[in-house]
Chain A
Amino acid sequence: AQKITQTQPGMFVQEKEAVTLDCTYDTSDPSYGLFWYKQPSSGEMIFLIYQGSYDQQNATEGRYSLNFQKARKSANLVISASQLGDSAMYFCAISFPGAGSYQLTFGKGTKLSVIP
């Protein structure tokens, strides 16, 4: 079974500094996708970044980058120049082929708090 592990229940970072949120995964499928989502206190899920298992380069989207180490099965999210608005829950997820289509499994999340 596919598994996602986020080992940091909570993290603190000073405003304007960079922070890394850890994510490791376990799958036997050669084709999969890795995703990060942000969930502010308002509850909506916001897609941040995607990495395909065959992508050679690490994905980047503005201040977000995904540090993909395939051999180690890790997909850490790096947020540069943290802002107060980055305070939220962050979820790592993996898509894998299930019956009929691809489905998503999520980690337990990391609560990030940005300190002024």
Chain B
Amino acid sequence: DVKVTQSSRYLVKRTGEKVFLECVQDMDHENMFWYRQDPGLGLRLIYFSYDVKMKEKGDIPEGYSVSREKKERFSLILESASTNQTSMYLCASSLPGPDSGNTIYFGEGSWLTVV
């Protein structure tokens, strides 16, 4: 059974803390993505990576960074968490190509609350 695993489902962090969200996929996919999902705003792309050590900014990269040292792992980092980063974060992986959306698999999501 293919899987995208997000290590933490629910987190509560304090303003200013450094936060790591980890994502691991077991499908040998080239592409990996981090989205955040907010009510009424849909899924917005934060960063994506199409290869090890390669990363590209998405639509809302401010306040976030990412790391991809191994093909199967893609980490999202909040250097200094703020309350407006309270959200649900979704990791995904896919094969490359224009039909990549039908090979995309999502994790279960990480609910982050910053207080």
Q: Which residues of A contact B (CB under 8 A)?
A: 6, 9, 31-33, 35, 43-45, 47, 50, 52-53, 91, 93, 95-109
Cα distance A37–B23 in the bound complex, in angstroms: 21
B:65-115 near A, CB below 8 Å: 88, 90, 92, 94, 96-102, 104, 106, 108-109
Q: B40 contacts A9, CB within 8 Å?
A: yes
**B50 proximal to A (CB < 8 A):** yes
Smallest CB–CB gap between A4 and chain B, Å?
A: 8
Q: B40 contacts A108, CB within 8 Å?
A: yes
Cross-chain contact of B45 among A50, A102, A104, A107 (Cβ < 8 A): A104
B-side contacts of A102, CB under 8 Å = 31, 96-98, 100
Cross-chain contact of B101 among A9, A43, A53, A104 (Cβ < 8 A): A104
Cα distance A52–B101 in the bound complex, in angstroms: 10
B-side contacts of A91, CB under 8 Å = 42-43
Number of chain B residues whose Cβ lies closer than 8 Å to a Cβ of chain A? 32
**B54 proximal to A (CB < 8 A):** yes
Cross-chain contact of B98 among A33, A99, A107, A109 (Cβ < 8 A): A33
Cα distance A106–B56 in the bound complex, in angstroms: 17
A-side contacts of B108, CB under 8 Å = 43-44
A-side contacts of B106, CB under 8 Å = 44-45
Q: Contacts A100-B50, A103-B33, A103-B58 given; indicate if A95 touches B101 (C-beta within 8 A).
A: yes
Q: A47 contacts B102, CB within 8 Å?
A: yes
| Chain A residue nearest to B57 in the complex (CB) | A99
Smallest CB–CB gap between A18 and chain B, Å?
A: 23
Q: A35 contacts B101, CB within 8 Å?
A: yes
Q: B31 contacts A52, CB within 8 Å?
A: no
Q: Contacts A103-B45, A105-B45, A108-B41 given; indicate if A53 touches B33 (C-beta within 8 A).
A: no
Q: B43 contacts A101, CB within 8 Å?
A: no
A-side contacts of B35, CB under 8 Å = 106
Smallest CB–CB gap between B39 and chain A, Å?
A: 9
Cross-chain contact of A35 among B48, B54, B102 (Cβ < 8 A): B102
Q: Contacts A43-B108, A44-B108, A45-B106 given; indicate if A101 touches B100 (C-beta within 8 A).
A: yes
